[in-house]
Every structure is written in C-alpha cells, then in structure tokens.
Amino acid sequence: MMATTVVRMAQPRDVATIVSIVNGYAADSVMLPITMERVALSLDDFVVATDARGRVRACGALKEYSPSLAEVASLAVARDAHGSGIGRGIVAALEELARVRGIGELFALTLTAGFFKAVGYVVTERVRYPEKIRRDCSSCARRFGCAEICVARMLRADTLECAA
C-alpha cells in the first residue's frame, strides 16, 4: 500500500463512489450489486481507502450476522489500483473493526479465493453459515450454478473460560 493511502471509516460523501466501484464489478457478475440507500443505511459498517488526492479508490464492509459472526462484503478496489496492497489494507481495517466489536469469526463468499488465502483466510464449506444462505443465497438467481468459494478467518483463538 502506498504511504499516501489512507484507510478510514466511510463518510456520507463517499456513498456515490462506493456504489460506483462495487456496481462496476456487479455489471460483470463478479459481485452483488448495491444501492445508494443500502450503503447509506449501513455506512457505519463500511471502510474506504483514499489516495494522495483524497479520492476513494476502494471499499469494504462488515455484514454482521450475530454478535460473533460477520461477512467481509462489498470488497472492491478500483481497477487501476489493483496489486498495490489496498485490498489487504481494507481487509485488515475490517478485521480491526470486527475485533473492536467483539466479533471473533469472519467469512466471505468469493470468486477470488487466491486473494483471501494471501491475506490469511482458509477455504471452508458454506454450509457452516446457514444465516448467509438464508439471507442471500436462497433467493439468488445463480444459486444452482454458484462458483463462489467460501473462505473464513478466526480472529481470536482464545475462548472465554467459565468460572463456575
């Protein structure tokens, strides 16, 4: 990641750029499309990366399913900014956000499992996440021919011990 890249929480002024970066990939069926309204309503879950001129070049979001489980969603880096560590930076920021919120497990459904493996995720079975299947997969047009791979990362190995 360039020294001038800043990763920060998303602001209302970032909504249109987030939507345009994500929907650029949705048009190629690489990602699920998002709307301005959905992003605005969940802005507290989005992080963005900006360049030296302050332009938003990438985004990502935490989609929470329970107090301990969230999905890495809407992860996208502008095409001309690929390969310089920005995607890694966005994932690291989402993991930090998850830790602050006490979330111990992250997963993603992705066509780019190689990227997720490079940043510390392991391939797993999507049946581990029935909440995701119910919320998105069951109604998805591609549910019978889905090529997405499920990846996951545990953020905390420590478990709470019960002092009985």
Ligand X SMILES: CC(C)(COP(=O)(O)OP(=O)(O)OC[C@H]1O[C@@H](n2cnc3c(N)ncnc32)[C@H](O)[C@@H]1OP(=O)(O)O)[C@@H](O)C(=O)NCCC(=O)NCCS
Instruction: Indicate which single residue of 118, 122, 146, 154 sits in contact with ligand X (rule: CB under 6 A).
Output: 118
Among the listed ranges 2-10, 36-44, 83-91, 129-137, the one in contact with ligand X (CB under 6 A) is 83-91
Among the listed ranges 25-33, 62-70, 125-133, 139-147, the one in contact with ligand X (CB under 6 A) is 25-33
User: Smallest distance, Å, CB 31 to ligand X?
Assistant: 5
- On whether the CB atoms of residues 20 and 57 are closer than 8 A, the answer is no
Does the footprint of ligand X cover residue 61 (CB under 6 A)?
no
Cα–Cα distance for residue pair 49/65, rounded to 1 Å: 24
User: Smallest distance, Å, CB 130 to ligand X?
Assistant: 19
Does the footprint of ligand X cover residue 112 (CB under 6 A)?
yes
Work out the number of other CB atoms within 10 angstroms of the CB of residue 52.
10
- Strand residue runs (E) in 51-156: 56-66, 69-77, 105-110, 122-124, 149-154
Give the side-chain half-sphere CA count within 13 A for 65.
19
Cα–Cα distance for residue pair 59/94, rounded to 1 Å: 10
Among the listed ranges 84-92, 94-102, 129-137, 152-160, the one in contact with ligand X (CB under 6 A) is 84-92
Does the footprint of ligand X cover residue 147 (CB under 6 A)?
no
- For binding to ligand X (CB under 6 A), which residues are involved? 25, 30-31, 75-77, 82-88, 108, 110-112, 114-115, 118-119
